[in-house]
Each structure stands twice: as structure tokens, then as C-alpha cells.
Structure 1
């Protein structure tokens, strides 16, 4: 909770005429509450506060918070409470738009304006979702499909190309690979994919497809296309 209050204060200061300096932490001690009353339901509390900050301060970029949490852009089901007074305060102070913050204060922040779809990717034929982790005790990984054909898998980082992982086909092995997106782009890896909702997911360079095979277990593979179709959970723009 304190994190989002800090974020709200930081954004408010910059947009409303002030500035924030980054200084070394004290070497004496850090003070922390022994009991955090919001911890039993931390995820809901964090989402609610993030959405409140976004609704007041982030303008057309507020959807990025929903995308980060893999929530639908409409009817996300979270009650963020009354924020009318916060909006009035912003108007009274004549604060700048959030785009000014992106352009002048934090240009390294990825705006995700070219994102077409996000969320879990499911195979139509097998009703299985893409999962590329060592442990299977967590929910399916989120994916993020960009207009240029890049397919990010896993948690996204806010900085442009900051350790985000892209799906890559090396053209030889049938095993899908995740590589650092920035490195993949610099080295010319086959990281671009052609995809339409309810159709195959085909690598633009190798013309091979992401598919599922079934023997004793289900396996995620990259192979010659057999017509398997995929759906992405949340579509932002038709493509």
C-alpha cells in the first residue's frame, strides 16, 4: 500500500510543477511496521491502489496497470472507491498530462502503445495454455503480443527491453526458447510471430508454428504447421 502511495506522490509532484531527487538511503536504519493490516489480502489491495493512482494520474495510459495485472480493460470487477476529489485537486493545480512525464521525466518507461493482446494463450484443440516454467504450481504465464510481432512471455518489466523474455524459434530444435528480447533483436533471432485470434501462431522467419503434441504428456513444441489454433485472453485491438 505504501508503495502505491509513494508512486502517487511521485507522479503528482512531477506533474504538478515539482521534482523528485534520488538520494542515498540513511546508513542508520530503515523503519518498517511490524504488522501490515493489508497483508492478508495483499493482491487485491495492491491492485485497488494501483488502479486508483492510474485513474487519477495516468490519463490514456491507465490501461497499462490493467495490462500489468492481466485484468480485462472493461469490467475488471475491482471497486476503486470515490476518486472525484483527487481528480478535482489535479484540475485545480493545473497539472501536466501523464504523457509529459513519459517524455520528459521517465522516457525509459515502456508505454505499451503498440500492444495488441495480452493474458494467457490457450490452444483451441487441446484447451491448454502456454506454460514455459520449471515449476507448475503457479498460474499460466501471461503473454504480450506487440504490433511488430514480438511475443513476450512471463512478467513484463516497465523499462524498454529490460530483461523481458521473447519467444524465439532457432529453426532447428522443436523446443520453444525464451531469450532476452533486446539481445534477440540485436542478434537477429527469429522472434517475430504472425498471429490472428483463433488461428495458428507462426514464426515469420522460419514459417514454423507453436503447437502442442500429446504422447504420455502434453508438450509445447515448434514444428511444421498442422493447423492448430490459439486464442489470447484479452484483445486490445483487432488484428
Structure 2
């Protein structure tokens, strides 16, 4: 059943400042909570019918752009479909802001665009930017692509974050080794061995022990 969500339904301050982490999404999960953002009842009906024929019944529609983020927060959707028939630049920027904030798979439908707007959409994290493609029979494959791209991007982001953390931890460990080498007159291998033994004895990560050494050394300057 598709239900509209009126603009005045959510009070400011009544929703969290961000959405919880998204659950693991599968395109064949018919229980997905899908939100359609569309001011045109006719165009929204195309999306709704396409979702209905694909078996998705947990669909809500948001009309109007007032308090848009708050209303999306209140629904906590799994996927967001945004349709912009002939949007102004301000409207597009607002929708890009939604994409940056909510961290959910987003497909955006527009009738016309330019290369700069496409680049901005990618930068904002829009998973699918569909130009002149609002047709009922395309809704399901676009939904599947949107979820797939979102998951791939999330994996890549997690891998990059992990690599960044590992690099930072390596710098911390190297700095702690240098401190130990100077303080105790030992070589690098011995300094690392001391860090490792201390971490094992205290049941902590080597990086945590290294950070403690750095902090203590800074206090003793």
C-alpha cells in the first residue's frame, strides 16, 4: 500500500540528526521500505506501479520539499527514489544534500541534465542518475542497479577507511619504536618486540600501547 507523507507530519527536533546504519540490502527483498520523493502525482504513480508490479508493497511517497530531511529520517527508508521532472538548480542541490546526509541507496530520475550535474550527483553519492528514463518497466532493474552500486561503493569506502586506519596506526607504531630506541638504546626489532610483548601482556592492540608511549613521552618533555 502506498501512502503519502504530508509535509507537516514531522515536527522539527523530533527525529535523530542522522539515520542509523543501513541494514544489508538485497534487491529481491520485497520487504524493503522504499520512499518516493515526487511532487507530481502522475510521475509518482509510474514509480509506484513499477514497484507494485515487481512485488514491493512497502512504499511511501513524500510530496513537497518542506522539512524533507526530517520526514525521511522519520521513515528511515531502505531505498529512496527521487523524481525531478524539471528541477531548478536549488531543487537539485537540495536533493544532493539529501543524498549526502542519509547514506541510503538513491536513484534520481530527471528529464534533462548536463555533465556538471551528473558529476555533482556522483560526488553526492547518488547511486543511479537516470536521464529521461521514467518508465514503469525500468523501475525494477534501476532499483536493483541502485542497490548494487550502493553496496559496492560502501565496500570500497570501508576498504579505503581500513587502509587509512592501518597507515595511521603504522605511523603511531613507528613513532613509538623511535621513542623506545632512544630511551632504551635498543634497535628497531627489539623496540617492536617490546611493544608486542606489552600488548600481549595487557591484552591490548599494539597501536594502543604505542599511542600510550607517545602520550607519556609528550608529557615528560
TM-score (norm 2): 0.22
Structure having the higher strand fraction is 1
